[in-house]
Structures are given as C-alpha cells and as structure tokens.
Structure 1
Amino acid sequence: MPYMHGVYTTEIPTSVTPPVQATAGLPVVFGTAPVNLATEPAPVNKPVLCYTYEEAVKQFGYSDDWQKYTLCEFIKSHFALFNVAPVVLVNILDPATHKKSVAAESVTLVDDQATLANDGVLKDTVVVKSQDGATTYVANTDYTIAFDDAGRAVISRLATGAIAAGATLTVNYDHLDPSMVTSSDIIGGVDATTGAYEGLELLNQVFPLFRLVPGMVLAPGWSHDPAVAAVMVAKASNINGHFKCIALTDVSTSEVKKYTDVPNWKETNTYTSPRQAVCWPKVKLSDEVFYLSTQLAGVICRTDAENDDVPYASPSNKTLQANGAVLADGTEITLGPDQAAYLNGQGIITALNFIGGWKAWGNRTGAYPAITDPKDAFLPVRRMFDWIANSLILMFWQKVDYPISRRLVDTVVDSANIWLNGLAARGFILGGRVEFIQDENPTTDLMDGIIRLHVYVTPPSPAREIDFIVEYDPQYLKSLFAA
C-alpha cells in the first residue's frame, strides 16, 4: 500500500437502489402484413418497435383486408382508435415463400392505365410485355407502377415510352398469398439450418432488442386456434427465462355462435391459464370488425397509461371503440348484464352495452372458475404480480454476483420496501413488504450463492359486485309530525 499523507475520500455504493419499472402493457403482436405496400419494409420474422401509425405503415404497409393482413387490424385499433403506444409488431408473411406467380395476365389500357387483378403484387417481379409477348417494356421508361387506395397495382403508360395508347398488354408477376401462412408459421420455432428464431419464439428477442419487457402477447386472427393459443401462453409464462406477461386470446366466433356454448369450448380447448384472457365475441365499429382481443389490448394500454403505467386497474367497464358485437358471419350479438355475468363467471371477457355505451366486461383470467386464488383468477391482480416480479428483476439485476453480505441483503430489502411503500401510498397496492427469512435461506444455499427474499404484496381486487341493502325504516314516519 502506498504511503499517504493528507485528506482523501472514497465512495461506496448507495445503500438504496433506485427503482426500475417494467413496461406494464407493451403489446407484442404476431400476424401478417401487406409488406409489398411498405415504403421501408420490415424484415420477416423480426420484432419491430413502433410508436406511431406512420411508423407502422411505413414498415408493414396497410390494407383494409384484415382477414388476409391481420396486423393491419391491430395497427388501426391501437394507433388510430385508442391512440396508445408503443407496440412491437412481428410479420410472419414472407414474400419469398408465401407467394403465387401469375403468367401472361392480359390487361388493356384505359385512359393510359390498367389495374392488375390480384392484390399483394410484388412490384419488383412485374414484367410488362406487348400482347404477343414479343416486346418487353422497361419500367420508368415505358410505364410506371403504383398502388391505389385498395392496394391494387396500377400500370400507367408514359407518353414518352414505347407503349401505344389503348394497348393490350401481357403482364407476368408474383403476388403475396396470405392463405399460405399457417398456424405453424405463427407458432414458429428455431430454424434447424440457420438457428434463426421464427414466430412466437421471437418473444424472447423483444427485451434484448429494445430493453422493454413484453406486457401482452397477441395474435388476432390466429389466437382462436388452440395450438397457437397454447404456445402463446407457454411463451408468455417464461420470457428469457425471467420475465412473464399475459396472452390475450379469442374464442372462435365461427364455431361458437351462442354465448351458452362458449364455456364448453373454452374448457374443451384448454383456454384455462392464469396468464390468459379469453375473449368472445368480436366487436365492430361501423363496418369495421375487430377481434375483441385487439380492442382489449387498447383498453388495457389506455387504462395503464392513466395510472402511470401501473397495471392495478381492471380493463373491465372501460370503453371500447365499438358500436356493436358480432360473430364472424356478421350476426349481431347483444348480451344483457345477466348473460355477460354468466360468461364472466366462466372466465370469459366479453363486450356489454348497458350503461355508458359499449364496454369491455369481465375481470377473470381463463383459469377461473377452476382456480379461485386472487393472484391467478383476477386479471389485474395477475398482471400486478407479473409487473412487480418483472420490476424486481430489472431493479436488482445489477446486484447479481455481489458478495453475499449483510450490506447486500439490507440494500435489497430496504430498496424494495421503499418502492413497495411508494406503491401503497399511491393506492396501487394495499400493502407490501420484503423480508429476508432465515428458515427460507438454509446454510447450504447460502454457501452455494443463493439468497431468497420473501415478497408479501396485496394488489386491490376489482369491485366486481357492489351490493346495497335497502330497508324500509318506519322511524322516518315521525317526520310527518315534525314542527
């Protein structure tokens, strides 16, 4: 040690660790997109973080044909109707493989333009020839290609080019075929050749890419497939080996057309996870029809935003952007409060138009009624448990591999308790504390570098039932004789 003479200072780590909160409701959405319409196409099977409608459309394109392009439904609902952000979008439709070829389609120019028959045209594959096929015309010299409002490719003749006015042309091209995308593509996995992640496996890439913890996983248009829903729940239950979130899933409105049949479908197809919201039916706004899971995500994100991104409030009895509920075939569904309560009692979230317009209605996870533990049966309580756990991981990851000492234990316990006390003071939880309990930390575990801290926490349950007891009180008859 060097010889020292004077006054010196040193620093030690702060005894209280500042809180780091997990993103409560970040949606990660899997589906198909009209990438041929994108000006800056996002890679296939790559999570993309979007904060605005413009960002999303620029990278994924947009089409009103939501049956073919399921991500567009979510883009419209989340950004345009609920005005919440951000969202992570993952396009599974691969223009290299999910496509069909058209040979020698004949079109005739009218007012110097002709529209191709198929949507999803891949612009770079278009070859325009003369009617007899003898002459191949040059793009941007003889003609241009643009997309109209319906997403159709329009060939426009250039007056300075070689194409005659009113000519009949022969066109070869490839176009997207979303029908080739299957549930297996959404489920994905790991490519055996390249090792690349695909489909729902990409949920594990969201935090490493963006440092944001997923709050919800969705696949509108696909989550009514039991195989897809099962993998959604499995992935939501174990993200990167540490984090957890919920899966928003739908019941098939093609198969289930009566509300009384929904519980049996739910149980038969095992939509029964504590980390699963089960939605039925669809909802509509004018002529646009949405999966209920899509709009429920918007309700959840807006509700969280109103509470400083703390997911303690239920999305139930919050306004949907809808003016009707429908089945897949367009049949309108109108439930009364008693019918909606029946679905809620079976762990199903629905849409109710009773007081205050159309509202999301239901607090229960898919685990109810088989499981009644509040942390697993109530959606907001389940979300709070996951959010608190995710936040503790983020907060104390920096302490991993520190020497186990009393100072380390005190720092973690004190920091966590200060944070929980703050949540309680703001009404986000009824109370909470962290303890380091000797019986839960045997000597052999401490020797092996393992410490356990016991978190006690009580998020508020939603007031699903408010009862008034009304009694006739004859004592008030005396008021008739009052002076």
Structure 2
Amino acid sequence: MAYFHGVHTSEQATSVLAPVQVAAGLPVIIGTAPVHLAEDGAVNTPVICYSYQEAVSQLGYSKDWASYTLCEAIYSEFQLYAVSPVIFINVLDPAKHKTAVTDSTGHSVSKEKTVTLTDPVILSTLQVKPSAGGAAATAETDYVAAYDDDGNCVITILEDGTLGEAETVYCDYDKVDPSAVTSDDIIGGVGSDGNTTGLELINNVYPMLAQVPGLLLAPGWSEDPEVMAVMVAKASNINGLFKCLVLTDINTAQVKKYADVNMWKNGNNYTGTDQVVCWPMVRQGDDIYHLSTALAGVIGVTDSNNSDVPYKSPSNERLQATGLCLTDGTEVVLGLEQANLLNSQGICTGLNFNGGWKTWGNFTGCYPSNTDVKDMYIAVRRMFNWDAATFILTMWQMVDKPLTKRFVQTVVDTEQIRLNGLVSRGFLLGARVEYREDENPVTDMLNGIFRIHKYFTPPVPAQEIEEIAEYDVDNLQSLFETA
C-alpha cells in the first residue's frame, strides 16, 4: 500500500440489495387497430400507453370493435377501469391488409364543395379525378383530404384548383381491409428478413420497454384454439425467464349454453396452468366486451388497491357491466348454481347476486385436472410469476460476481428481507430462504451454479365460508330462573 498520512474513507457495496419493482398485472394486448387514423401508426411493435389519448395517437380508434379488436381494450382499460400503463401490439398493416377500389360511378360534390368517403381510405393512395378515365388531380393544390371524427375520409375541393367547377369526382384508392388479417398474423413469427411479428413480439417487450408482461390478451382472437395454444406457449417462457397469465375466451358464437362450456373447453385444450378461461361476454350499455378484456381491467384495479402485489384474487370484484351476453347480443342469465358449476370446471364468469355485477371464479384453466395449489388458483399462480420476475431482475446485478460467502449471504439476506416485508404486510402467510448444501453439489459450484431454496405461502382465496348453527338446549334452563 502506498504511504498515507492523515484521515481517509472507503466504501463497500451494501450487503442487501434494493428489490426491483415489477408491475404485476401489466397487460400486453395483441390485435388489430385502425392505424390509418393514427398520427404514428404503430405496426408490429410493442407500444406502451399511459392514457386514452396516447393510445389513440399511436393506434387510432374506431367503434367498429369487431374489425379493430384493440379498440375494445383501449376503451375498457382507460375509460371503464382507468388503469395504466397498457402495452399494445397491432398486427394490421395497411401496406399489406388492403383492397383496391376503382370508382366508375363517381361521387357528387356537395354545395360545401366536399365529398365524403365512408371507406377506411389509405390517404397516400387516394386519386381524385374529374372523370373515370381522367388524370388525377393534385393533393393540396386541387383538393385536401383528411379524416373526420368518425373516421370518414372528407375531400374538400379547392376553388382555385382544376376541380373547382366539378359537380362529380371519381375517387380511386386502396382501403384498409381488417378482414384480411388472419390468425397467422396474430401468431406471427420471425420472417426471412429478420422482422418479428405477432405474438413473437412478446419477447421484445422487456428489451424495448423495460417492462415485464403480467397479462397477455388477444380479445376476439383468443377464442381460436390455435392462437390460444401459441399464447400459452409464449407466455410460459418470455425471454427464457419470465411467465405471465394468459386471459382467454371461449367462443360464444359456438357455445351458447353454460352446460356446453366444459366440453368445448376440454375439447379445445383450454387447460393451461398460466391460463384463465372466460365465458360468456359482458354488456355495458350498448357495448359488448370479451370477458377477458373486462377481467384485465378488474385485475388492474385490484392490484392497484393492493400496492401492486397480486395476492388478492380478482374474483368477486366489481365488474363494469350491465349484463352477460353472447357475441350476437343474446342475453345470458346465470344463477349462483350455474356460475359455481362453471367455476368447478376451471371457468371464470360473471355474477349478479349480491352487490351488483362481479367477476366470479378463482381457478386457472388447469383445474380440476391439476389441483396443485400453486397452479390451480389464479392469485397464487400470479404471485409465483410476479415473485419470480422480481427475484430475477433484482439478482441480475449479482450475475458473474465471485461466488463467496459474502455473495451467498447477500443473496439470502436480500431475498429474506424482501419476503419478510411481504409477510408483515399480509401479502404472504410466511416465507423463508435457505442455502442448502445438498442442493449445491461441488460439481455445480465448479460450474458457477448457485442455488437458494425459497419457501413461501401466498394466501388462498376463502371461496367457501360456512357457519355451523346448533340449537343449544342448555339455554332452556333460563326459563326456570327467577327475575
């Protein structure tokens, strides 16, 4: 050591690490959006939105939820349940999913010098002509085209342009065709050009946005068994590290009675551990939502009320709904017995029994064939997923540090202190962390492999509360007592 004369200090790394915060119920929602109406028009890329306005700016918005499935989720998440952030992945690409329109009959110009096209026009392809075979006029010189609040394309004829005296104009254009989007677009993959699309993009969420998915949805698409299977597979191995819960729907166009739901569920293999199966749909006024969409909102609100710790089941929580229905609007009426039957089959539903409309169901799709407590309960499964993500991200900074006694103690103490905090706040019933010699053989340690063993107990939902009442004959003796 070099000679020193005086007083000095040094620092040593803190022996306990601050845990990384992970959003437990962060939804990743994949589907189609009217990006031709958006300022930015995000296609096949995860976009994170914190408000309704931000979502509309990046994805557009339309009340045609059947064609633009993400719009249902945009409205539900931000307007009905007021939760954020939400990550959206739009697969509708106007450059690919389009249809050419040739105008042979013409459109009359109004006295306000406007023409309105109700088709979802791709503005960059629009050609406005004085006759069917005429030369196209020049945008911004002869006319101006823009979308109105209803998504219509409004063409305003400029008086000084070549169309100034025209009473009829002919409009050729390409229009967005949502019907051209197929399940293959939702499933996606990695193309020969290296571009990633569809569900494969869930692996891009953390690298791009530093957010771990908590929920995965595809309203309007998850009722397709092929899409569902890929959703479950992707959600169980995100970036080779994380897991999230998949919210799926049973097809209400095919399954119209509660008695037929279980056969469809099992027949189409909607039985995943990290999967919630929903039936039927919900109505809020004149709007119809997939139950998976509504459940995502309920989960967001429930987590928010519990410090973003997913220990509370989303069952028996307020559902923004005025009824249950099928996709065609047909009302579905479920009593407690019918709703409980669905629950016993691993299906979540809605119930209006006491206190208004509530979500109803605690089990994941694997129930009743799998009764492992960590797998069958939604809340417990989510706690395991959330806890694993928190541990991974907290301890990532320890990777490749020397495997010493201090290293072992830092990992064990950090995790034990974090778990003790969860226990003290009532989120866990108990927890302990052990470094066990039998689980760390010398051969593994020589390869740099280090293990700790964690025991922790999230509470299960109290889904059956029973009072045992008995007539107490001893109290008859009070009749013989004198005043």
CA distance in 2 between counterparts of 1:312 and 1:448 reads 36
Q: CA deviation at 1:420?
A: 0.3
In structure 2, the partner of 1:169 is 169
Deviation at 1:470, TM superposition (A): 1.8
- Alpha-carbon displacement from aligned partner over 1:47-79 (angstroms, at most 9, x marks no partner): 001000000000100000011000000000000
How far apart, in 1, do the equivalents of 2:482 and 2:90 lie?
A: 76
Q: Encode CA deviations 1:403-424: one digit per residue, 9 max, x unaligned.
A: 1111111111111111100000
Residues 384-430 of structure 1 show CA distances to partners (whole Å, capped at 9, x for unaligned) of 01111110001111011111111111111111111100000000110
Q: Kindly indicate whether residue 334 of structure 2 is the aligned counterpart of residue 335 of structure 1.
A: yes
Alignment of 1:58-137 (within 5 A): 58-105=57-104, 106-111=106-111, 112-118=113-119, 120-137=120-137
Counterparts of 1:3 and 1:191 in 2: how far apart (Å)? Answer: 63
Describe the SS at the equivalent of 1:55.
helix
Partner Cα distance (1:479, 1:141) in 2: 101
Asked if residue 14 in structure 1 is aligned to residue 11 in structure 2, the reply is no
Aligned mates of 2:110, 2:285 — CA distance in 1 = 34
What SS does structure 2 have at the residue aligned with 1:20?
A: coil
Q: State the Cα deviation string for residues 176-203 of structure 1 (Å, max 9, x = none).
A: 10111110110111112x2121111100
1:104 alignment partner, SS class? coil
**1:337-416 equivalence runs, <5 A:** 337-416=336-415
Give the structure 2 partner of residue 297 of structure 1: 296
Kindly state the Cα deviation for residue 166 of structure 1 after the two structures are TM-superposed.
6.6
The answer to whether the Cα contact below 8 Å between 2:216 and 2:235 also exists between their aligned partners in 1 is yes
Aligned mates of 2:9, 2:262 — CA distance in 1: 68
Partners of 2:132 and 2:383 in 1: CA distance = 68
Greater CA drift, 66-75 or 349-358: 349-358
Taking the aligned partners of 1:404 and 1:61, their CA distance within structure 2 comes to 52
1:36 & 1:308 partners in 2: Cα distance? Answer: 38
Secondary structure in 1 matching 2:331: coil
Report matched runs for 1:94-243 at 5 Å.
94-105=93-104, 106-111=106-111, 112-118=113-119, 120-164=120-164, 167-192=167-192, 194-243=193-242
Q: Distance in 1 between matches of 2:323 and 2:81?
A: 17
Partner of 1:452: 451
Q: Which runs of 4+ in 1 moved over 6 A?
A: none
| Distance in 2 (alpha carbons) for counterparts of 1:73 and 1:166 | 41
> C-alpha displacement at 1:104, in angstroms?
2.0
Q: Is the 8 A contact 1:110 1:166 kept in 2?
A: no
Aligned residues: 480
Distance 2:475 2:65 in 1: 62
Q: Secondary structure at the residue paired with 2:88?
A: strand
- 2:462 aligns to what? 463
In 2, distance between residues paired with 1:478 and 1:87? 66
After the TM superposition, which of the residue ranges 147-156 and 258-267 deviates more from structure 2?
147-156
How far apart are the structure 1 equivalents of 2:160 and 2:461? Answer: 69
Structure 2: distance between partners of 1:165 and 1:65: 36
1:27 aligns to what? 27
CA contact (8 A) 1:28 1:90 kept: yes
- 434 and 175 in structure 1: CA distance in 2 versus 1, 3 angstrom threshold: same
* Residue 473 of structure 1, CA deviation: 2.4
What is the one-letter code of the residue matched to 1:174? D
1:254 match: 253
How far the C-alpha of 1:482 sits from its partner, in A, is 6.2
User: Residue 46 of structure 2 contacts residue 205 of structure 2 at CA under 8 Å; is this kept in 1?
Assistant: yes
In the alignment, what sits opposite 2:439?
A: 440
Letter in 1 for 2:114: Q
1:452–1:162 Cα change, 3 Å: same
Check the 8 A contact 2:142/2:164 in 1, yes or no: no
2:202 aligns to what SS in structure 1?
helix
Aligned-residue offset at 1:353: 1.1
- Gap regions ≥5 residues in structure 1: none
- Number of the residue aligned with 1:276: 275
SS at match of 2:103: strand
Q: Does 101-110 or 133-142 show the bigger shift?
A: 133-142
Q: In the aligned structure 1, how far is the partner of 2:208 from the partner of 2:152?
A: 34
How far the C-alpha of 1:149 sits from its partner, in A, is 3.3
Contact 1:237 1:244 in 2 (8 A): yes
Q: What is the rounded CA distance, in whole Å, between the counterparts of 2:132 and 2:424 in structure 1?
A: 79
Q: Give ranges in structure 2 of 5+ residues lacking alignment.
A: none
Instruction: Give the structure-1-normalised TM-score.
Output: 0.97
1:109–1:165 Cα contact (<8 Å) kept: no
